[in-house]
A and B are shown apart, each in its own frame.
Chain A
Amino acid sequence: MDLKDLYQEIILDHGKNPRNLGKFDNYNKDAKGNNPLCGDNVHVYLRLNENKKVEDIAFEGHGCAISMASASIMTDMVRGKEEKEVKEIVNDFLGMIKEKDSLETNILKDDEKTKLMSLSGVKQYPMRVKCATLSWHTLTSAFDNSDQIVKTEE
């Protein structure tokens, strides 16, 4: 295990200065997620237009560097993408965090993949995987317009 893999510069940067933090007025989908184990929580807001494209996305919440960075990078990455594409990215990301060595989707550009792969360090820290995945599960829930609060504990 190496802390440098976990706390890469890009994670520290996004963790400290999360992009898309806050809430905007005309969102039409949102969902909340929390991690009861540690009290971290996230609320994802997004605006999907008539073509099912993510026009805007933001999040509120608090948590560790990993969870903040993950939400920050995620929101950056899905803005402007179609729902179908976003779902593919989410599945690819979750698959990578759980078992796969790399990302397989063709939707993301190489530099975007590199950015996402910076979160792969959590694989060595099983207790921290949930920190990285919480916002992604919450995003899925927002698309489904689920009233159910996403919990990392099942």
Chain B
Amino acid sequence: MNIDDIKREFPIFDDKIQNNDLVYLDSANSSQKPRVVVDRIYDFYTKEFSNVGRSVHYLAVAATNLYEQTRVSVQKYINAKDKDEIVFTKGATEAINLVANTFGQKYLSEGDEVLLTELEHHSNYVPWHFLRKAKNIKIEFAEINDNGEVTLEAIEKKITNKTKIISVSHLSNVTGAILPIKEIVQLAHSKNIPVLIDGCQGAPHLKLDMQDIDCDFYAISGHKMYGPTGIGILYAKKKWLEDLPPYQGGGGMINEVKKEGITYGELPNKYEAGTMATAQVIAFNESIKFMEKIGIQNIEKHEKELLDYGLEKLRKNNSVNIIGNPKEKGGVISFTIEGVHPHDIATILDEDGVAIRAGHHCCQILHDKLNLPATARASFGVYNTKDDIDKLDEAINKCKKIFNL
């Protein structure tokens, strides 16, 4: 694959940003959008718009078909058994909240334990914290090791006979560690514990096969997969979606509504109350096609090359400390520079068009454990090149110069 050709498919790189060529190293936060995705939103609104699943007129039927086509594309892309196992949400955050809320309602009571890890994003902690408040459940955290990984053993150590659900990241947005999710699922299932995988960082970068991973729930963020904002996916095994109560009430999710009672709709409508992010769902189909055209194996290989190059380059740069050293690692390099706060790094890099993120990356538990208030983070997408990493390295040197290091 030719990265220059791929990069040209992203309009954001057409023009200078603040007089610089954009070096976008913040894809773990959100990826840029290819033209096909942006155009699809425009075309839908200008030529095809209607609400889905309600009216019988031509546009409504056509829009419904387009909307449902994305469901089938996602199903195939992640190799789910059934299209009804794909629920559209406003993001991965809502997907996790949906599970925590409905599973919590039905299956968690005082003293029960939810097992997370120390490297979870706040979106895979706060929804469970709500249950801690409301139901007096306990939250346990499997520990990270010195490499910034969470091992199967670390998970096993925290499982008790009170553990009712395990919810872990596929890929850490800070250390880049790829968790052994298949093994975690096997272990959990041997103890009859369901598993939710926060796949925000996994889905854009790794091959997904729900039937092989066998997890109960998998949360996906659309905007990190070259898709629009406002769209996420909850994959859930059909038995759970049938078993758990609905999440939000409203139009579209009902079967029959009477003064004395309500019955709920069939899957997947049961979990899609109200008018959904229709244009975004339809445009997300283009993101899937875009990734399929390149091939996830090629994306993985390319990002691995960038990672290896980046790690080698930054390790040679004095005063740069790289956070974590996981054996299985995705395209994320978090780092600090002795004597320069990450926010200062980010501002100085930005001056040269190098866009990174600085802060705790919504992982305060992890940063507390690392005893770091903040880190700087460069993360890769399919459009990045080795040249981007060279520019990152040069900008880091400029930073050191300003701070007299």
**Which range holds the interface residue count of chain A?**
20 to 34
A7 to B373, CA, bound (A): 21
Inter-chain contact B359/A3, CB cutoff 8 Å: no
Contacts of A63 in B (CB 8 A): 341, 343, 373
Q: Which of A1-38 contact B (CB under 8 A)?
A: 1, 3, 6-7, 12, 16, 37-38
Inter-chain contact A12/B351, CB cutoff 8 Å: no
Question: Closest residue of chain B to A63, judged by CB?
Answer: B341
Inter-chain contact A3/B373, CB cutoff 8 Å: no
Q: Which of B359, B402, B403 contacts A39 (CB 8 A)?
A: B359
Q: Which of B368-405 contact A (CB under 8 A)?
A: 373-374, 402-404
- For the residues of B in contact with A, the DSSP-based class is mixed
Nearest CB of chain A from residue B363's CB, rounded to whole Å: 10
Inter-chain contact B360/A7, CB cutoff 8 Å: no
Nearest CB of chain A from residue B401's CB, rounded to whole Å: 11
Q: Which of A1, A16, A62, A65 contacts B373 (CB 8 A)?
A: A62
Confirm or deny: A128 has a beta carbon within 8 angstroms of a beta carbon on chain B: yes
Inter-chain contact B351/A3, CB cutoff 8 Å: yes
Question: Closest residue of chain A to B340, judged by CB?
Answer: A65
Q: Which of A1, A62, A64 contacts B344 (CB 8 A)?
A: A64
Inter-chain contact A131/B402, CB cutoff 8 Å: no
Confirm or deny: A66 has a beta carbon within 8 angstroms of a beta carbon on chain B: yes
Inter-chain contact A128/B347, CB cutoff 8 Å: yes
Confirm or deny: B261 has a beta carbon within 8 angstroms of a beta carbon on chain A: no
Inter-chain contact A39/B373, CB cutoff 8 Å: yes
A16 to B404, CA, bound (A): 11
Inter-chain contact A38/B403, CB cutoff 8 Å: no
Confirm or deny: B367 has a beta carbon within 8 angstroms of a beta carbon on chain A: yes
Question: Closest residue of chain B to A40, judged by CB?
Answer: B373
Centre residue among A6, A64, A68, A125 by max chain B CB count within 10 A: A64
Which A residues have a C-beta under 8 Å from some C-beta of B? 1, 3, 6-7, 12, 16, 37-41, 62-66, 68, 125, 127-128, 131
Q: List 18 A-B contacts (CB under 8 A).
A: A3-B402, A12-B403, A16-B339, A16-B403, A38-B359, A38-B360, A38-B374, A39-B367, A40-B374, A62-B373, A63-B341, A63-B343, A63-B373, A64-B341, A65-B344, A65-B403, A66-B343, A128-B347
A1-B18, A64-B342, A125-B347 known, 7 other contacts, Cβ within 8 Å? A3-B348, A3-B402, A39-B364, A64-B341, A65-B344, A66-B344, A128-B343
Instruction: Across the A-B interface, give the 3 residue pairs with the lowest CB-CB distance, nearest first.
Output: A64-B341, A64-B343, A38-B359
